[in-house]
Amino acid sequence: MRKALNTAALALLLAACGAPPPRPLNPHPAAPASPPAAHGIAYRIDSAHSELRLLVYRAGALAALGHDHVIVNRALEGWVSPAGSSTAAAFYLSIPTSGFVVDEAAARAQEGADFSEEIGDDAKAGTLHNMLSPAVLDAQSHAAITVQSVSIEPAPPGMQATVRISAAGHESNLVVPFTVETSADRLHAQAAFTVQQTALGLTPFTALLGALRVEDQIRVKLDLVAIRD
């Protein structure tokens, strides 16, 4: 069995609490190339220093037959506009489905004991194949997962954003906590939270009548650096 914790790739991605049921949407949503003029100054996502990381865990009576996975994507694109105040700020993030990488040795080592097992190339390829298949991210029809801010507000000790996530033909509004540091020329935002795959409209992988399955909940880590235009 390919330890294909398929739905891991959500990416997308971001989220959290009290999400409404996802609904189908246009498979090719319009992507704002830049912030509206009213938002003013823009910072562009620096893909060389940004990363989305997903931690996906096995479950079920036969969980020992599977693997926990670390999935990363560093091909991130988009923009951030501070707009002078947190409540007026906005951002847009595009996560190409072609940019996902499964179980890099260095990334697994960074995540500790749960990911200490060495994963073979065949297992990695199988996981990626299943993740991009029509049953999960449907990468052939949906080239990217997108995340766009709806609102941003203080949530001590950091901030929180309500975001609209478009993934594999489904759209969901989720709440994401994050921290941010901003200077004249650079912005650095970080987020770490859990999200349920079903909240994004995806069904967790299962096999052997549920004896081997993927936990619905995954861990998301997002590290974004943006440079002023």
State pLDDT tens for residues 158-216: 999 999 999 988 999 999 999 999 888 999 999 999 998 788 887 655 556 455 556 67
Decide if 189 is inside a domain: yes
Amino acid at 111: E
Whether pLDDT at 57 is above 60: yes
**Of 192 and 33, more confident:** 192
Whether pLDDT at 55 is above 50: yes
Whether pLDDT at 217 is above 70: yes
Structural domains counted in the chain? 1
Q: What number is the average pLDDT over the span 143-147? A: 95
Nearest-5° Cα angle at 93, 35 to 119: 165
Cis status, amide bond into 157, omega within 30 of 0: yes
Q: What percent of the chain has pLDDT above 90?
A: 49
Whether pLDDT at 25 is above 50: no
Instruction: Please report which confidence band the pLDDT of residue 149 belongs to, taking 50, 70 and 90 as the band edges.
Output: very high
- Asked if 136 and 117 touch (Cβ cutoff 8 Å), the reply is no
Q: What number is the average pLDDT over the span 147-157? A: 93
Q: What pLDDT is attached to residue 79?
A: 94
Phi, psi values for residue 13, rounded to 5°: 155, 70
- Asked if 60 and 214 touch (Cβ cutoff 8 Å), the reply is no
CATH number at residue 199: 2.40.128.110
Q: What pLDDT is attached to residue 71?
A: 96
Q: Which segments of the chain are extended strands (E)?
A: 23-24, 43-45, 51-56, 58-59, 69-73, 77-81, 90-96, 100-102, 144-155, 158-167, 170-182, 186-196, 206-207, 212-214, 217-228
Indicate the pTM of the whole model: 0.81
Whether pLDDT at 128 is above 60: yes
Tokens standing for residue 112: 């500790």
Q: What pLDDT is attached to residue 108?
A: 96
Q: What pLDDT is attached to residue 211?
A: 56
Amino acid at 26: N
Q: Annotate 69-113 with three-state secondary structure.
A: EEEEECCCEEEEECCCCHHHCEEEEEEEHHHEEECCHHHHHHCCH
Tokens standing for residue 162: 């309500």
Decide if 1 is inside a domain: no
Decide if 84 is inside a domain: yes
Tokens standing for residue 190: 């970080």
The mean of the pLDDT values for the chain is 79
**Closest of 75, 88, 89 to residue 43, by C-alpha:** 89
Q: Tell me which residue range forms the domain holding 76.
A: 6-228
- Classify burial at 135, counting beta carbons within 10 Å of its beta carbon; exposed 0-12, middle 13-18, buried 19 or more: middle
Decide if 132 is inside a domain: yes
Q: What pLDDT is attached to residue 84?
A: 59
Q: How far is CA 109 from CA 6, 58, 70, 114, 119, in A?
A: 21, 18, 10, 9, 12
Q: What pLDDT is attached to residue 223?
A: 98
Whether pLDDT at 20 is above 80: no
Q: What percent of the chain has pLDDT above 70?
A: 71
Decide if 62 is inside a domain: yes
